Structure 1
Amino acid sequence: MRSISCLKSVGAALIAVSLLSACGDKAAPPAQLPEAAYVTIAPEKRAVENELPGRLESYRTAEVRARVPGIVLKRTFEEGAFVKQGQVLFKIDPRSYQASVQNAKAALSRAEANKVQADLKLKRYKPLVEINAISKQEYDDAIAAAKQASADVEAAKATLVNNKLNLEYATVTAPISGRIGRAMVTEGALVGQNEATLLATIQQINPIYLNLTQSSAELLKLRQMMQSGALKDAEKSGLKVTMVMEDGSIYPHTGKLLFSDISVDPTTGELALRALFPNPDNMLLPGMFVRARLEQAVNENAITVPQQAVQHTNDGSQVIVINQENKAEIRQVKTTSAIGNRWLVTEGLQPGDRVIVEGLQKVRPGSPVNPVEWVDPMAPAKAPAETPAAAAPATEAGSKAADGGAAAGAAEGQAQTTQAK
Structure 2
Amino acid sequence: MSSHSTVAVVAALAFAVALAGCKPQPDDHGADSAGVDRPEVGIVTLRPQAVAMTAELPGRVVASQTAEVRPQVSGIVQQRLFTEGSEVAEGAALYQIDPAPYQAAYDSAVAALQKAEAAVPSAQAKSERYQGLVKQNAVSKQDFDDAVAALAQAKAEVATAKAAVETARINLDYTTIKAPIGGRTDRSSLTPGALVTAGQTSLLTTIRTLDPIFVDVIQSSTNLLNLRQAIDSGRLKVSGPHVAVKLKLENGAIYSLTGKLEFSEANVSTSTGTVTLRAVFPNPQRLLLPGMYARAVVEEGVAPDSFLVPQRAVTRNTKGEAVAMFLDKDGKAEERVLSVIRSVGNNWLIGAGVRDGDRVIVEGTQYVRPGQMAAGTEVVVDDTTGEVRERLPRQRRAARPGAEP
TM-score range relative to shorter protein:
0.7 to 0.9
Q: Which of 251, 258, 281 does residue 254 from structure 1 map onto?
A: 258
Tell me if the contact between 2:345 and 2:383 (Cα under 8 Å) persists in the aligned partners: no
For 2:355, the equivalent position in structure 1 comes to 350
Deviation (angstroms), 1:322:
2.8
How far has the Cα of 1:143 moved from its partner?
Answer: 1.3
- Give the Å deviation of 1:121: 2.4
Are the counterparts in 2 of residues 66 and 196 from structure 1 also a CA contact under 8 Å?
A: no
Q: CA RMSD in A?
A: 3.3
Are 2:243 and 1:270 equivalent residues in the alignment?
no
- The yes-or-no answer on 1:364 pairing with 2:374 is no
Query: What are the residue-to-residue correspondences of 1:11-410 with 2, within 5 Å?
Result: 36-193=41-198, 195=200, 197-227=202-232, 229=233, 231-232=235-236, 234-235=238-239, 237-307=241-311, 309-310=313-314, 319-327=324-332, 333=338, 335-357=340-362, 360=363, 364-366=367-369, 369-375=374-380
2: CA distance, partners of 1:247 / 1:311: 32
Amino acid at match of 1:215: S
Shift of 1:244: 2.2
With over 3 angstroms needed to count, the CA separation of the structure-2 counterparts of 1:272 and 1:378, relative to structure 1, is: closer
CA distance in 1, matches of 2:337, 2:321: 7
Code of the residue aligned with 2:149 in structure 1: it is A
* Aligned residues with identical type, % of pairs: 41
- Paired position in structure 1 for 2:10: none
For residue 22 of structure 1, report the CA deviation from its aligned partner: 10
- Matched-pair contact (CA < 8 Å) for 2:55–2:297: yes
Aligned partners of 2:41 and 2:364 also within 8 Å: no
Letter of the 1:245 partner, please give it: L
The normalised TM-score by structure 1 is: 0.74
Measured in 2, the distance between the counterparts of 1:64 and 1:316 equals 60
| Cα distance, 1:354–1:146 mapped onto 2, change above 3 Å | same
Q: More helix by proportion, 1 or 2?
A: 1
SS of equivalent residue, structure 1 residue 237: coil
Q: Relative to 1, partners in 2 of residues 1:244 and 1:79: Cα closer, same or farther, differing over 3 Å?
A: same
Per-residue CA shift, 1:284-322, capped at 9, x if unaligned? 122222222223344223211345555689967654433
**Contact conserved, 1:108 with 1:156, CA < 8 A, in 2?**
yes
Contact 2:106 2:165 in 1 (8 A): yes
Q: 1:378 to 1:46 in 2, by over 3 A?
A: closer
Distance in 2 (CA, whole Å) between partners of 1:259 and 1:62 is 22
Query: Is this contact kept in 1: 2:327–2:359, CA < 8 A?
Result: yes
* SS class of match (2:285): coil
Q: Any gaps of 5 or more consecutive residues in structure 1?
A: 1-20, 380-392, 398-421
The 8 Å contact of residues 54 and 300 in structure 2, kept in 1 or not, is answered as yes
Contact 2:346-2:383 within 8 A present in 1 as well: no
- Shift of the 377–197 alpha-carbon distance from structure 1 to 2, 3 Å rule, reads closer
Q: CA deviation at 1:376?
A: 6.3
TM-score by length of 2: 0.77
Question: What CA distance in whole angstroms lies between the structure 1 residues aligned with 2:234 and 2:367?
Answer: 35
Q: CA deviation at 1:336?
A: 4.2
Residues 231 and 300, structure 1, Cα contact 8 Å, conserved in 2: yes
Q: Structure 1 residues 317, 251: closer, same or farther in 2, change over 3 A?
A: farther
Instruction: Count matched residues.
Output: 358
